[in-house]
Structure 1
């Protein structure tokens, strides 16, 4: 948190302290291509561990991982990103380090 002081002028001088909140850190969860995991396994892991992940979207991501070498599978608050990163890694997916925004 940072503090800023604001002074108003006129018949009276008043000083107020405003608190500005720094934005909560965000991160991207990135899955890397490997020669170990099958498309089916990647899809099942994404659907199981990433909230709101639909099967069609998971298949699209699996193809992107295979074709481009990696794909961002989730972006959001750092603490949640850490959890999803750990869950996917525990399933045997090859993970890039968390990428902070």
Structure 2
């Protein structure tokens, strides 16, 4: 007994939108950067970073060993990671959020 082939709807016109993943920029504690240097770098390189938030994150780096200082799309994350690293901060590898 023969059966008719199953016809599936054409999906060529469908668009699936997936958001780009976010990435975390993480500063690690070390024994050679001062509190002042870390806070200054955060204010200089992370957009919108206030003095109060920079000091809060600097304390987190010192007392907890690390702090996520920025989260967002890959390209700016790479830029901020590179800038902070070049300024001498100890950085964790970028990681997906």
Considering the TM-score relative to the shorter chain, is it more than 0.5? yes
How many residues were matched structurally?
Answer: 90
Which residue pairs with 2:90 in the alignment?
A: 94
Gaps of 5+ in 1: 1-5, 8-13
Q: For residue 18 of structure 1, give the secondary structure of its aligned residue in structure 2.
A: coil
Instruction: Find the residue that maps to 2:84 and give its secondary structure.
Output: helix
Return the structure number with greater strand share. Answer: 1
Residues 1-101 of structure 1: pairs in structure 2 closer than 5 A: 7=9, 17-101=13-97
Q: What TM-score, normalized to structure 2?
A: 0.86
> What displacement does 1:20 show?
1.3
Secondary structure at the residue paired with 1:20? coil
Q: How big is the shift at 1:21?
A: 2.4
Cα separation, 2, equivalents of 1:15 and 1:64? 49
Gaps of 5+ in 2: 1-7
Assess, with a 3 A threshold, how the Cα gap between structure 1 residues 16 and 34 changes in structure 2: closer, same or farther. Answer: closer
Which deviations, in whole Å up to 9, do the C-alpha atoms of 1:33-83 show, x marking residues without a partner?
Answer: 000100000000000000000000000000000000000000000111000
